[in-house]
């Protein structure tokens, strides 16, 4: 019992210390590269809160990270690995756009619901393929999900810049969806919209399903010990496909809500980074849907702070990228976790 409490404390403290380490790295970078470090520090840490525009955009940037973080959490909890988030977000956003462009006569709410559901189904299918390949032939879903995603990105790029390109625009984009399909702005003049409410509800639902339902229990058991799960009569093949499909569905929802709430069209490359950052968010959260929301907010804060500092001081946006890389390294390598565990073992 004492050992269990010790391990729980280590698991809880590890991401907090990792975040603190990231902030220390940020401060060091600022003092090294900025000629006015005091101004840079102020705008980095306080900038996102100085006006409604910055603050609202920071919250809006967290929305797709919440959803992709949830998708990765579901996959990792079941010991399947989805590295195709980028393509799944991209395909989801394009699917939502395509549905609304091809069916312009739909009522507003009905069109939004249909677009999001269509995006979820398409992305769930794309991710579910990797789970099916693993179940059927033992294919490594880490590799197959990445390769399928890379292929999907090229296909969507071709459709956006070719068949469905808006020739009246100077951008590489599809035509905009009708204004009645746009999600309601809730914090003007920022881009924050009602998708933030959907994301929080999705996080609550994901937590409930994972920890309060039989399906969630079986999913977690398969992730902890597939052989034990099979011995107990659980269909382990199902839980190779289902978590991947759910993971893809969350990524598709992220893409569709980004289109309906922020971009209102499918821009070439609009999903860049959302899928990969979702992995880091899930790892910081310990694959716990309840912790995904604050982890996503933290990541969004790092990006918003870097943009504010870049605009108002002499620092560059790459500072945020380096900070994110430090977080990703510490979390994935479990450097902090292993150090704490080693230290406590000899206390």
Q: What is the pLDDT of residues 19-51, one digit of tens each?
A: 777 778 778 888 888 888 888 889 888 999 988
pLDDT on residue 173? 94
How far apart are the C-alpha atoms of 332 and 72, rounded to whole Å?
14
How far apart are the C-alpha atoms of 83 and 86, rounded to whole Å?
8
In this prediction, residues 162-180 reach a mean pLDDT of 92
What would the pLDDT profile of 103-113 be if each residue is shown by its tens digit? 888 888 999 99
172-201 b/e with 16+ CB inside 10 Å = b?
A: ebbbbbeeebbbeebbeebbbbbbbebbee
pLDDT of 172 over the 60 cut: yes
Q: How far is CA 165 from the centre of its chain?
A: 27
How far apart are the C-alpha atoms of 48 and 59, rounded to whole Å?
10
In this prediction, residues 261-283 reach a mean pLDDT of 90
How far apart are the C-alpha atoms of 31 and 311, rounded to whole Å?
17
pLDDT on residue 336? 47
- 320 or 261, higher pLDDT: 261
pLDDT on residue 112? 95
pLDDT on residue 345? 47
pLDDT of 330 over the 80 cut: no
How far apart are the C-alpha atoms of 87 and 83, rounded to whole Å?
9
pLDDT of 149 over the 80 cut: yes
* pLDDT tier for residue 332 given thresholds of 50, 70 and 90: low
How far apart are the C-alpha atoms of 18 and 253, rounded to whole Å?
29
* pLDDT tier for residue 137 given thresholds of 50, 70 and 90: very high
How far apart are the C-alpha atoms of 190 and 45, rounded to whole Å?
19
pLDDT on residue 324? 67
Q: What is the pTM of this model?
A: 0.90
pLDDT on residue 14? 62
What percentage of the chain reaches a pLDDT higher than 70? 88
In this prediction, residues 128-142 reach a mean pLDDT of 94
Are the C-beta atoms of 206 and 70 separated by less than 8 Å?
Answer: yes
What mean pLDDT, rounded, does the chain reach? 87
* pLDDT tier for residue 15 given thresholds of 50, 70 and 90: low
- 258 or 105, higher pLDDT: 258
Sign for the CA dihedral angle at 271, 91, 264, 57 comes to negative
How far apart are the C-alpha atoms of 92 and 42, rounded to whole Å?
38
* pLDDT tier for residue 312 given thresholds of 50, 70 and 90: confident
What percentage of the chain reaches a pLDDT higher than 90? 57
Q: Is 26 left (phi over 0), alpha (psi -120 to 50) or beta?
A: alpha
């Amino acid at each position: 019992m004492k050992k269990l409490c010790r391990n729980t404390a280590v698991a809880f403290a590890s991401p907090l210390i990792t975040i603190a380490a990231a902030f220390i790295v940020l401060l060091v970078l600022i003092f090294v590269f900025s000629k006015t470090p005091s101004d840079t520090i102020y705008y980095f840490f306080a900038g996102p809160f100085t006006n409604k525009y910055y603050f609202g955009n920071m919250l809006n940037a967290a929305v797709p990270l919440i959803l992709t973080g949830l998708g990765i959490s579901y996959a990792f909890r079941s010991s399947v690995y989805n590295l195709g988030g980028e393509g799944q977000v991209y395909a989801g956003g394009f699917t939502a756009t395509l549905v609304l462009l091809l069916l312009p006569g739909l009522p507003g709410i009905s069109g939004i619901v249909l677009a999001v559901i269509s995006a979820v189904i398409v992305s769930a299918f794309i991710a579910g393929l990797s789970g099916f390949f693993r179940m059927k032939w033992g294919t490594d879903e880490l590799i197959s999900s990445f390769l399928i995603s890379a292929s999907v990105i090229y296909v969507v790029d071709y459709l956006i810049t070719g068949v469905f390109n808006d020739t009246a625009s100077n951008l590489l984009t599809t035509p905009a969806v009708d204004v009645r399909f746009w999600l309601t702005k809730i914090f003007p003049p920022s881009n924050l919209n009602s998708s933030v409410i959907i994301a929080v509800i999705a996080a609550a639902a994901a937590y409930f399903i994972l920890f309060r339902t039989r399906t969630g229990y079986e999913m977690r058991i398969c992730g902890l010990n597939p052989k034990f799960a099979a011995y107990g009569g659980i269909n382990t093949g199902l839980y190779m496909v289902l978590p991947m499909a759910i993971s893809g569905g969350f990524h598709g929802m992220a893409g569709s809500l980004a289109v309906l709430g922020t971009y209102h069209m499918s821009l070439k490359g609009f999903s860049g980074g959302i899928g990969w950052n979702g992995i880091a968010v899930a790892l910081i959260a310990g694959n716990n849907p309840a912790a995904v929301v604050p982890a996503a907010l933290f990541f969004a804060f790092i990006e918003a702070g870097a943009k504010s500092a870049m605009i108002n001081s002499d620092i560059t946006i790459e500072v945020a990228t380096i900070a994110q890389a430090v977080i990703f390294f510490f979390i994935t390598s479990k450097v902090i976790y292993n150090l704490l565990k080693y230290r406590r073992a000899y206390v």
